[in-house]
Amino acid sequence: MKEVETYARATGLRFLILETLFESRDFYFKTGFSKLFDEPLSADVEHREAILILYKDLEYSGKIEEAYPDDD
């Protein structure tokens, strides 16, 4: 059961990160403002970088690998 919970959490987090990045980018291109901060691009770039750092931390710590084991 623990493996299923870990997989579900990691999958949900991965999709949330990607969805946030794409929504924020698309909103900026349409309006010139960040959907998350309602400020110009500089805040949006900082936020995207923070999310990417979080994702890379998860990836390097093995959390993503635990959720998506190689089938080889």
Instruction: Tell me the per-residue pLDDT of 41-60, one tens digit each, with 9 for 90 and over.
Output: 455 566 666 666 666 666 66
Q: Which CATH superfamily is domain 1-57 in?
A: Gcn5-related N-acetyltransferase (GNAT) (3.40.630.30)
Predicted confidence at residue 33, as pLDDT, reads 53
Residue boundaries of the structural domains of the chain: 1-57
Rounded CA-CA distance 67/53 in Å is 18
Does 6 score more than 60 pLDDT?
Answer: yes
